Amino acid sequence: MAYAFGLLMALAVFWLVLSGETSPFFLGLAAVAVLATLWLCARLRLIDREGSPYHRAPQLLVYLAWLIVQIVKANVAVVSRVFGPRHAIDPAMTEVSTTAQSRLGRALFANSITLTPGTVTVDVEGHKLKVHALVRESASAESFAPMDRRAARAADRKPRGRRNGER
C-alpha cells in the first residue's frame, strides 16, 4: 500500500508540474487521470518495491551527489587525455560483475558507468556488464568496484556477496 501511495503522489506532482493548471475542472481531470493510471498499474502488477522506489529516495540522492563528483573528475581526466600526449587514449573492453540484487540496482550501476565520461556500458547480461573504456588503466573491474558498491547500497538494502572467484 505504501508503494501505491508513493506512486499516487509522484503522479499527482508530475501532472501538476507539467500542466500548471489549478482550476477545479482541471484538478478533477487530474484526479481521474491519476487514479486511472494507478488502477492500471495495480492491474498490471507494476506497483512493487522496484516499480515504486520512493522509499529509496534519500539513499539515491546521496548516490547522485557522489556520482556528480565522479562525473566531474572523469571529465577532467578525459579532457587531459584528449589534449595530452598523442597516444594517451588506449581503448579497452572489460567485463564487470555487479553486486546489486535488484534490476534497479543493476540499471543504476550500468547507467552510472555510461554517464561517466570515458566509459560506456555496452551490454548487460544478468550480473555481468560489458564496459568499453577510453583508457585501459581505468578498464579494470576493481576501478568500478566503488561505484558498484555505492549503486547497490543506494538501490538495495545491502549488496549481495560476491561468489567464489567472481570479481
| Residue entry with cell 520512493 | 54
Q: Report the pLDDT value the prediction gives residue 99, as an integer from 0 to 100.
A: 92
Per-residue pLDDT reduced to its tens digit, 62-74: 999 999 999 999 9
Residue 65 lies in a domain: yes
Indicate the pTM of the whole model: 0.69
Residue 145 lies in a domain: yes
For residue 24, the enclosing domain spans: 2-43
Average pLDDT over residues 143-156: 91
Shared domain for 89 and 141, answered yes or no, is: yes
Q: How confident is the model at residue 49 (pLDDT cuts 50, 70, 90)?
A: low
Question: Is residue 143 scored above 70 in pLDDT?
Answer: yes
Phi and psi dihedrals of 109, rounded to 5?
-65, -50
Shared domain for 141 and 79, answered yes or no, is: yes
CA 50, CA 54: separation in Å to the nearest integer? 9
Shared domain for 71 and 117, answered yes or no, is: yes
Domain tally, the chain: 2
